Amino acid sequence: MKALILSGGHGTRLRPLTYSQQKQLIPVANKPVLFYAIEDVIEVGVEEIGIIVGPNKEQVMETVNSVDWDAKIEFIYQGDPKGLAHAILVAEDFLDEEFVMYLGDNILKDGIVEHAEKFRNLKSDSLILLTEVENPQQFGVAELDESGRVKRLIEKPKVPPSNYALVGIYFFKPIIMEACKSIKPSWRDELEITDAIQWLIENGYSVEASIVKGWWKDTGKPEDIFEANRLVLDDIQPKNEGIVENSKIIGRVVIESGAIVRDSMIKGPCIIGKSCVISNSYVGPYTSIGNNCEVESTEVEDSVIMEGSKIMNAGKIVESLIGKGVRIQENDSKPRGYRFIVGDNSDILL
């Protein structure tokens, strides 16, 4: 089995961050979201991975190639995103056997091992991952028959036939290529994967469902990044490879190598990246601080701070998503409780 991971698109819901970086590279618990997908497919035995790239292809390639993966990785340029089925057509030369397609901005708590085994055992033409949601009107929804097989897929239905939403992870036999070639663009002028799967159903091919039991997050919006960060940090184990001086560490905290924490309180679950300096500050629960950051005389909690940022005398920062190389420091006034969605290399005076 091969894997096709999608890491293209423009990430408009995460702007301004995605003006300067690909959305799948935004970190959750100090690891790019894309890496969770790569790890999941390698865990099920995939040895060849195709990654669909778009506008920021060099950035994606450099980040992925910074790790020595236990799989061969090929980058496939899609250009303008014209739908998930279009991504499959772009990768036709690579996809010469059954494969799993994984949207690179998804994170699953329990991975996909159970679902891959079900696909192999059922020998179906496709298997799609579903999860129960409270607001199915906002998702692609599956209607299932009595045996649990997929009867129909509906995109954002006004009257949902079920509350089972598509997760964004699909297993396919090669017949999906014919399906993608047989459908027409939707009203969005895109080749929709839901239409391709519906083509399989209508032409007598078997499409099975597999229900995700643990949590799942699509990290397409800032609030999704925060929630995914909380969920991942809930499972971390404490580790201290840095230097802690005159500070109090409470709960499950990860302090990476080269980090220095002095005259501060760190309350987990949280993670402090390599070569960070935290001084005279409070770092609260559900905070991820990337490598080479500095936090001085500031309180921060429930936030994601990316590498190379410096925050000094900034009062209290909560529920903030702060890009790379950002500088935040106090100006004349001293209000508290700021909330930020800040792009890379910004300079903010408070």
For the chain, give every domain's residue range. Answer: 2-225, 236-349
Residue with tokens 């190598």: 257
pLDDT tens digits, one per residue of 214-226: 787 776 777 788 8
Topology alike, domains 2-225 and 236-349 = no
Q: In CATH, what class is 236-349? A: mainly beta
Pull the structure tokens for residue 344. Answer: 């890379």
62-72 mean pLDDT: 92
Percentage of the chain beyond pLDDT 90 is: 53
pLDDT tens digits, one per residue of 21-58: 557 888 889 999 899 999 999 999 999 999 999 877 88
* 236 Cβ contact partners less than 8 Å away, ≥ 6 residues apart: 29, 252, 254, 268, 269, 271
Cα–Cα separations (whole angstroms), residue 178 to 52, 86, 104, 166: 20, 12, 24, 21
Domain 2-225, second-level architecture: Alpha-Beta Complex (3.90)
Percentage of the chain beyond pLDDT 70 is: 89
pLDDT of residue 144: 83
Cα–Cα separations (whole angstroms), residue 15 to 106, 281, 320, 340: 18, 29, 14, 12
pLDDT higher than 90, residue 344: no
pLDDT tens digits, one per residue of 281-292: 999 999 999 999
Cα–Cα separations (whole angstroms), residue 220 to 47, 217, 287: 28, 9, 19
